[in-house]
């Protein structure tokens, strides 16, 4: 009965590379695929390791890319900010160089010497500089502020409760928040 249970013939494979009878190297037979062998778990495990390594590498590359992108954005902001500062500095320099011309125009206008076509030229010059950000300031009666006013004369008066600019001797000019020249004024301090 036992012989009937094992009806398939036994297969013997000699996997040695050298033939013991001839002493020569045998040709390798192509490996036959095995189904459900003990190596299946090892292959899937090494595949998971490769996937894990690839995922780790991808995460590292993504982190590097995000860091480089953030550095680029910060660089671009810094360059834009520096460009704006350089532009404003250049414009302020040009405006500051033209302050004596504007003073002459202002004095000529106050004394009635600005007539004819020069009125239009003076208006265009002042409008152009104002368009680029130059602002003239200083009015009689405004409170004295040492940050934007330069006191050339002092007097005392009962009319004022705080130090007040009673006469603007020369207007001041600002470019944005930067004071190019403080307004030169006569100041009345309160009595007492």
- Helix, strand, coil percentages for the chain (3-state, nearest 5): 45, 20, 30
158 lies in some domain:
yes
- Condensed to tens digits (0 to 9), the pLDDT of residues 53-66 reads 999 999 999 999 99
Q: For tokens 């130059």, what's the residue?
A: 134
Dist. CA 83–CA 22, nearest whole Å: 86
Among the residues of the chain, which ranges form H helices? 2-5, 39-97, 99-111, 117-131
Range of the domain at 177: 134-192
167 lies in some domain:
yes
Q: Please tell me the number of Cα atoms within 13 Å of 107 on its side-chain side.
A: 8
Residues with Cβ within 8 Å of 155's Cβ and at least 6 positions away in sequence, in order, are 166, 186, 187, 188, 189
192 lies in some domain:
yes
118 lies in some domain:
no
Contact (CB, 8 A) for 151 and 125: no
The tally of domains found in the chain comes to 1
31 lies in some domain:
no
176 lies in some domain:
yes
The DSSP output letter for 162 is: S
Q: Provide the terminal-to-terminal Cα distance of the chain, rounded to the nearest Å.
A: 135
Confidence of residue 42 (pLDDT cuts 50, 70, 90): very low
Reduced to 3 states (helix: H, G, I; strand: E, B; else coil), residue 177 is: coil
Dist. CA 177–CA 170, nearest whole Å: 19
9 lies in some domain:
no
Q: Using alpha carbons only, what angle is made at residue 178 by residues 160 and 161, rounded to the nearest 5 degrees?
A: 10
151 lies in some domain:
yes
Contact (CB, 8 A) for 137 and 173: yes
- pLDDT over 90 percentage in the chain: 65
Confidence of residue 32 (pLDDT cuts 50, 70, 90): low
Q: Using alpha carbons only, what angle is made at residue 82 by residues 85 and 182, rounded to the nearest 5 degrees?
A: 20
- Condensed to tens digits (0 to 9), the pLDDT of residues 96-132 reads 999 999 999 999 998 988 888 999 999 999 999 999 9
Residues with Cβ within 8 Å of 69's Cβ and at least 6 positions away in sequence, in order, are none
| CATH number for 154 | 2.30.22.10
């Amino acid at each position: 009965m036992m012989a009937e249970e094992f009806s398939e013939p036994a297969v013997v494979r000699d996997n040695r590379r050298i033939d013991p009878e001839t002493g020569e190297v045998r040709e390798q037979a192509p490996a036959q695929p095995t189904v459900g062998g003990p190596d299946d778990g090892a292959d899937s495990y090494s595949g998971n390791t490769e996937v894990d390594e690839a995922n780790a590498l991808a995460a590292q590359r993504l982190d590097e890319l995000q860091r480089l992108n953030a550095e680029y954005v910060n660089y671009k902001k810094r360059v834009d900010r520096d460009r704006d500062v350089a532009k404003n500095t250049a414009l302020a320099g040009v405006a500051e160089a033209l302050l004596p011309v504007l003073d002459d125009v202002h004095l000529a206008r106050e004394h009635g010497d600005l007539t004819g076509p020069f009125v239009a030229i003076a208006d265009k010059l002042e409008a152009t500089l104002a368009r680029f950000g130059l602002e003239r300031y200083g009015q009689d009666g405004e409170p004295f502020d040492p940050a934007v006013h330069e006191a050339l004369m002092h007097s005392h008066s009962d009319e004022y409760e705080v130090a007040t600019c009673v006469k603007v001797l020369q207007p001041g000019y600002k470019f944005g928040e930067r004071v190019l020249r403080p307004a030169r004024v006569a100041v009345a301090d309160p009595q007492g």
